[in-house]
A and B are shown apart, each in its own frame.
Chain A
Amino acid sequence: MADALGNGYVQLGLKMSVLLILLPATLVLGWVELKIGAHMQARLGPMYPGGFHGWAQTLADGIKFVLKENIIPRNADRSVFALVPYVTMLGAALIFVVIPAGRNLVIEDLEVGVFYVLAASSVGVIGILMAGWSSANKYSLMGALRAAAQLIAYELPLVLAAAAVAMMAGSLSLVDIVEAQKSIEIAGFYIPFLPFQIVGFIIFLTAATAELTRPPFDMPVAEAELITGAFTEYTGIRFAFSLFAAEYISMIGLAAFGATLFLGGYAPPHSALEFIPGIVWLLLKTLTILFLLIWVRWTYPRLREDQLQKFAWKFLIPLSLVNIFATGALKLTPWI
């Protein structure tokens, strides 16, 4: 057994098994979102598929997407149109490479981890732009342009909030960041960066919601105005991959990233709880952030495009610059 684990092929295979979890996780998260949203609006949500509270609803949806006909409009740019699901899925899945689930339990602990996640999380927008232009549809083009506008507005607050965490930890590697949070210990309790970076955390959540084009920042896919924005012409499994799977996978990825940066990742809250594996703690913290994202989605109405830009440039970016200043000052005060 130990010999097998030392083998490079076996290790690589085990690392790739993360990919097999992603699609089922998408289905589960989709169902959870349907149920939470329904109950927040005093509805029941899906009740029939599978018997118990409609647990098989998203599974049935997924199977149906696979069985559907794939339509490419006559005027569309066929090759670019067909390439989109690959780009969006890749952008979503790449985040997981550096998320640590334990001291050594990580696909690859890149030295530039934080930077890498921020870069990978914006790859998906290229896919949205490709979809918008290649569809040769006016709604798609508008949706893609809105998605690009959203990226240029909210990439910066996200990057600056993450930079403040990198300052706290003095490293860009996500494992180092978690270990730095474990080193702040009061009476056995590990204190994560959250109390020091509460402003950064709120900026991060807001910017992540915008990056994921989830409500209240869902102008690129605003159903009432733009059908489904860039993915109006997409059908069947291409639609499911480009829109649903990519959104849910990057949602899980960014939530895990946020949990690692601000909530201590795989570190338990108390040193006495060290015997529970780190992956459980990471999962709990990720689920907490996912619940926050779902909660916000079903609570606030959609913003207007100019309000979105105004909020980013006149509030979030100055605030995150101040946050960087405050973090630097905090690190240099001798009593910390």
Chain B
Amino acid sequence: MKGILGLMPDGYFGSYLTLAVYALAMIGLVAGTLGLNRLVSPKVPKREKLTTYECGVEPVGTGQSQTTIRYYMFALLFVIFDVEAVFLFPWAVVFEEIGMFAFIEMMIFIAILALGLLYAWRKKVLDWL
């Protein structure tokens, strides 16, 4: 397949070009609908209409305020486990060919992580602060 102005090579990157065209088409679809909305919708800006919604009363302070993120420890754990998951995928594809050796290797890896989870559990990190 030669395709768009010779930009569509066969093989690995060709499939990602289709992906890019698909994404652009999706953005176009959303933009088209938003454009249609711009053409047909009324425009009556009022002072009250443009205020931030806060149960009908005047907003107090700013909405972009500092907030305690109570789950930041979970977020740290998530990063560690997500990296583990990235390692897991290439292994999952080839482990049957390598056999028992790969299985035991990965189980040691998972066991270390599970130990880490257990440690976090006992340290009460997994309880909502």
- Chain A residues in the interface with B (C-beta under 8 A): 6, 8-9, 11-12, 15-16, 19, 23, 66-76, 85-86, 89-90, 93-94, 97, 107-111, 114-115, 133, 135-142, 145, 149, 152-153, 155-156, 159-160, 163-164, 166-167, 170-172, 227, 232-233, 236-238, 241, 305-306, 309-310, 313-314, 317-318, 321, 324-325, 328-329, 331-332
Beyond A69-B41, A115-B89, whether A86 also contacts B75 by CB under 8 A is no
Residues of chain A with a CB closer than 8 A to B49's CB:
71
- Residue of chain A at shortest CB distance from B110: A321
B2 on interface, CB distance cutoff 8 Å = yes
Query: Which of B63, B107, B127 meets A137, CB within 8 Å?
Result: B63
In the assembled complex, the Cα of A305 lies from the Cα of B96 at a distance in Å of 40
Task: Check A136 against B52 for contact (C-beta < 8 Å).
Answer: yes
Size bracket, chain B contacts = 35 or more
Task: Check A137 against B85 for contact (C-beta < 8 Å).
Answer: no
Contact with A along B77-116 (1 / 0, CB 8 A): 1100110010011001111110110010011001001100
Could you list 5 further interchain pairs (A-B, Cβ under 8 angstroms) beyond the known A66-B41, A74-B50, A97-B19? A8-B4, A110-B15, A233-B53, A305-B128, A317-B117
Shortest beta-carbon distance, B124 to chain A, in Å?
A: 12
Beyond A8-B1, A167-B92, whether A156 also contacts B85 by CB under 8 A is yes
Query: Which of A70, A89, A110 meets B26, CB within 8 Å?
Result: A89
Contact with A along B9-27 (1 / 0, CB 8 A): 0001001101101110111
- Chain B residues in the interface with A (C-beta under 8 A): 1-4, 8, 12, 15-16, 18-19, 21-23, 25-27, 29-31, 33-34, 36-38, 40-44, 49-54, 59, 62-65, 67, 69, 71, 74-75, 77-78, 81-82, 85, 88-89, 92-97, 99-100, 103, 106-107, 110, 113-114, 117, 121, 126-128
